[in-house]
Amino acid sequence: MKTINKVIACTTALTLGIAPNCLASTFTPVNWTISGPGTTNTQQVNLDEYNLSYNLPGTEGFDTNTWTISTVANADGNYNFDWNYTGFHSYYEVTAFLNTFNPNTTLYSAGPTDCCSSPSAGFNESGSYTFSNISAGQTFGFTVGGSHFDSALRLEGNLNLKQIADPVSVPENNSIVPLITLGLFGAYSTLRKKELQTKLTRI
């Protein structure tokens, strides 16, 4: 009976133009690494979520420092991510940036600013990005970093990445009619079969 209810629920949802769980898309999460000056850390939060952090204390930010966050595609297709970039790059003449590579896109770029307009005294930026038409085995990812010009001598930050599955494409209602009919017929047939088996058992 649970199977029948599931079929009916799925076909009903499709009729209403809703993507039910029975059509939920799947994807294989990628693995991330970070490289660059100072101390770096990779933390896997969940199967599809990572924190990539850097810490470069005791250095004057006269020159821009850059960290590379990269991964290798495990299949052809699109790779979608929600991102959150936080950090502290000191107070005076502060800059911060977040870019992608393969392809090259600027997602965030700010500064130089002084205390205490962001990114000075800290920053917290969020967004979403899709790497489109990536080939299996291709390397892609992000670059983060920035600079400052004061005696606090601190550059630290974290990029949180959460991989998102491609949206499910729901067919037009008129193309769903055969599926609904087939699904309901199958559900009815299953129910009738179980009823007959029950009757035979009682004889």
Question: What would the pLDDT profile of 112-161 be if each residue is shown by its tens digit?
Answer: 999 989 999 999 999 999 999 999 999 999 999 999 998 878 899 999 99
60 falls within a domain: yes
Check residue 4 and give its pLDDT: 44
194 falls within a domain: no
Question: What CATH number does residue 138 fall under?
Answer: 2.60.120
pTM as predicted: 0.72
Check residue 7 and give its pLDDT: 47
- Mean predicted confidence (pLDDT) in 149-174: 80
Q: What is the dihedral of CA 196, 198, 200, 203, to 10 degrees?
A: -140
Residue 193's CB: how many other CB atoms inside 10 A? Answer: 10
Q: How many domains does the chain have?
A: 1
93 falls within a domain: yes
**pLDDT surpassing 60 at residue 67:** yes
24 falls within a domain: no
133 falls within a domain: yes
180 falls within a domain: no
Check residue 186 and give its pLDDT: 58
Residues in CB range of 175: below 8 A, 6 or more apart = none
Mean of per-residue pLDDT scores for the chain: 81
Q: Could you tell me the residue range of the domain that residue 141 belongs to?
A: 33-164
186 falls within a domain: no
CA distances from 14 to 72, 87, 169, 188 (A): 35, 44, 11, 19
**Look-up of token digits 């205390």:** 115
Check residue 197 and give its pLDDT: 56
57 falls within a domain: yes
